Amino acid sequence: MANAAPPYRRLSGTGYHYLVPPWALVLLFFVMGIFVLLFRGRRTQLWLGPEHLLLVETDGYREYYKRFNYRDIQAFIIRKTPQGKAVNVLLATIAALLIFFAIVVADPVGGGVLGGIGAFCGLLLLINALRGPTCHCRLHTAVQGVDLPSLTRVRLARNVLGKIRPPIEQVQGRAGFEPLVGPTAARPDPVRETPGPTAS
């Protein structure tokens, strides 16, 4: 009855099931410093298996698994979120202010330090902008909907979707890219079809 462990291929993206909201983590960082990482929660990753998609959550000493058989996956939803844009605005503001003060301040050492920090913020802004818009992903089966915290960018989510689509289509058949219209959506509305009273 013992099965050999199936081989898995890792899909890009790592995320965390946060124990506290990310904005609270930023505030806690000023209180706890590096120990704020203790509140980061479980790290999640997606792995592509021969018959199922595996969601792995780990806290370092244990691993938790959720399997989604390719034949059971019904929908994959990507929702663009404004977090990436908000971070960009915040970093741009900080970088602009620091560089402004670096230019204004008379002290060359102080100006250099401020300019350096400003440039670092600018670099973070560039990296964040290049990674593209942020997103929230959700996978639906007949009995549950599961968030996928490892897919945090739209580009990454589409890339992963492109990798999981072939095995799903191999099992379920091809859905096509044309807009799918469900049986009831395709059916004409009976209320509208009913002819109204004719004016005589």
Partner 1 sequence: MRTTVPCTKCGSQLPGELFNTGNLITCPQCGARLQLEVFPAFFKPLEVGQTGDRVMVEVESSCFYHPQKKAVVPCEACGRFLCALCDVELDGKHLCPACLESGKKKKTIHSLEDMRMLYNRQALVLAVLPLFITGLAAIYVAARYWKAPTSLVRPMRWAMPVALVLGTLQTLVFVIVIIAAVRS
Q: Is 91 helix (H, G, I), strand (E, B) or coil?
A: helix
Our finding on whether 62 is near partner 1 (CB under 8 A) is yes
Our finding on whether 85 is near partner 1 (CB under 8 A) is no
Our finding on whether 196 is near partner 1 (CB under 8 A) is no
CB of 4 to partner 1, least distance (A): 8
Q: Looking up tokens 């298996």, which residue turns up?
A: 49
Binding to partner 1, residues 95-154 (CB under 8 A): 136, 138, 140, 142, 145, 154
Our finding on whether 76 is near partner 1 (CB under 8 A) is yes
Burial of 170 (C-beta count, 10 Å sphere; 0-12/13-18/19+): exposed
Our finding on whether 195 is near partner 1 (CB under 8 A) is no
Strand partners, 16: 43
Task: Give the binding range for partner 1 (CB under 8 A) out of 44-52, 87-95, 109-117, 118-126.
Answer: 44-52
Nearer to partner 1, 91 or 139 (CB): 139
Our finding on whether 191 is near partner 1 (CB under 8 A) is no
Our finding on whether 163 is near partner 1 (CB under 8 A) is no
Q: How far is CA 190 from the centre of its chain?
A: 40
In Å, how far are 10, 106, 184, 188 from 194, measured between CA atoms? 55, 81, 17, 10
Cα–Cα distance between 95 and 103 in angstroms, integer?
A: 12
CB of 25 to partner 1, least distance (A): 22
> How many other C-beta atoms can be found within 10 angstroms of the C-beta atom of residue 125?
20
| Among the listed residues 17, 40, 43, 80, the single contact to partner 1 using CB under 8 A | 80
Q: How far is CA 63 from the centre of its chain?
A: 21
**Edge-to-edge, what's the strand order for the sheet holding 9-17?**
9-17, 42-48, 52-58
Positions that interact with partner 1 (CB under 8 A):
1-3, 5-6, 8, 10, 45, 47, 51-52, 54, 56, 58, 60-67, 71-80, 136, 138, 140, 142, 145, 154, 158, 161, 165, 168-169, 172-186
